[in-house]
Structure 1
């Protein structure tokens, strides 16, 4: 990766971080031949040229992530090309790329943690058997790479360790995590449906730039609604559990 101290023609600050094609391929996790193919199909704009060197910007990286996201959702390359062309037609490229970033910016800011398999099993003495590892992989909690394990969220791993040490069986924690993920998937699908119907569906071509602002506003609001709703639900459930326990003691 290289920092190229350049200035725009009007004397504006430099363009910032730029990549050679091999560096861009590594950061985007895309083969170089795929990048060249995208350029041939007009999916990726040409790089800025400095002599014989082509330099790609963060905008190119954002576009590659957008393409990857659309491919994962089942779009064809031709469909993606037409979509991007339609967005770009008659509009400033900065607005288009702003929308791409807004759509593809990860909602999660969790930090993963990598350790050896022995270190992971040591956190759960007597419970982290091979079957646990297989289930954790199937649920998407961990990824295996030889004898090393990457847990997707350090916070969730810490919470799991705390629950197990408090006496909750690891098997029960995994089952609860599976049910929680199903509920979260349903909740996320509901939010996406609401945004697609009532926000994206109401934005016309002339208001495309407002879509970036809409996503920026909705991200924290959606998180607040989930956090507040869960906290309220926990209050109700804890009170109910305490009342039930007191009822048994006094009966």
Structure 2
């Protein structure tokens, strides 16, 4: 039999207070427990749905938005599986915390408060109450620092980043709309049947890495064309005489 938990055990397992568990149950976010006398017992479906509620709230969704989403998702572990499939492959590395001087040392440049202010303005770092910096996406910072070490001026990178973010948003919207207008549309037209959710999850698990691979392949080809064109413009070289950049 599945493990069954009292409300106190359930709250401890999902990292909530008993009061919150009861409040979410009252809003219909989890099914009623199995009653034995006056004691309610909760199973793994309750754990999965409350875990999903906590994850969504932690990511900044309002409780009203969570209620709407939960109303359209299947019960228990299926809902949690779909959510984790959506967010896990693209979740950045864990945020890092460091002070301004540590960041300057890592970049190999003198400490400059104006540079730090730009980094915060671009959203690369958040200022903590104690004055330290929280790097929300360390992979992005690491990549930028490597480009600086190659000799590209920091200011040029700062000017390029908003364009990069906008282009990344556009590509992401293209792929998400592809899924939404095909597989998801057919699924919702069919009434979102419970036995169709595993197929939705498998599609997501497959399409997300394939989207990344297609983007990298297209970028390499586009980069090769741009390098050849710039070589012709700057050096007067015939692109046909250049070694292959692909």
TM-score, L = length of structure 1: 0.71
The residue number in structure 2 matching 1:225 is 214
Q: Distance in 2 between matches of 1:48 and 1:232?
A: 59
CA contact (8 A) 1:44 1:63 kept: no
Specify the SS of the correspondent of 1:42: coil
The residue number in structure 1 matching 2:131 is 147
Q: Distance in 2 between matches of 1:144 and 1:45?
A: 41
Specify the SS of the correspondent of 1:209: helix
**In the alignment, structure 1 residue 214 sits paired with structure 2 residue 198:** no
Q: Distance in 2 between matches of 1:241 and 1:40?
A: 64
Q: Distance in 2 between matches of 1:221 and 1:119?
A: 37
**Correspondences of 1:167-246 after superposition (within 5 Å):** 167-203=151-187, 204=190, 205-206=192-193, 207-246=196-235
Unaligned runs of 5+ in 1: 1-7
Distance 1:182 1:128, change over 3 A: farther
1:159 offset after TM fit, Å? 2.4
Unaligned runs of 5+ in 2: 238-246
CA shift digits 1:23-64 (9 cap, x unpaired):
6337xxxx7754442122121356899x99978745531343
**Correspondences of 1:28-107 after superposition (within 5 Å):** 33-45=19-31, 57-66=47-56, 71=61, 76=65, 79-80=68-69, 82-84=71-73, 87-88=74-75, 93-105=76-88, 107=90
CA shift digits 1:114-140 (9 cap, x unpaired):
222211123346565323222222322
Specify the SS of the correspondent of 2:98: strand
**C-alpha RMSD of the superposition:** 3.5
CA shift digits 1:87-133 (9 cap, x unpaired):
44xxxx44344333333435234343322221112334656532322
1:182 offset after TM fit, Å? 0.6
CA contact (8 A) 2:11 2:18 kept: yes
CA contact (8 A) 1:70 1:80 kept: no
Q: Distance in 1 between matches of 2:166 and 2:52?
A: 29
CA contact (8 A) 1:112 1:152 kept: yes
The residue number in structure 1 matching 2:150 is 166
Distance 1:126 1:209, change over 3 A: closer
Distance 1:98 1:240, change over 3 A: same
Give every structure 1 segment of 4 or more consecutive aligned residues whose post-TM-superposition deviation is greater than 6 Å: 46-49, 51-56
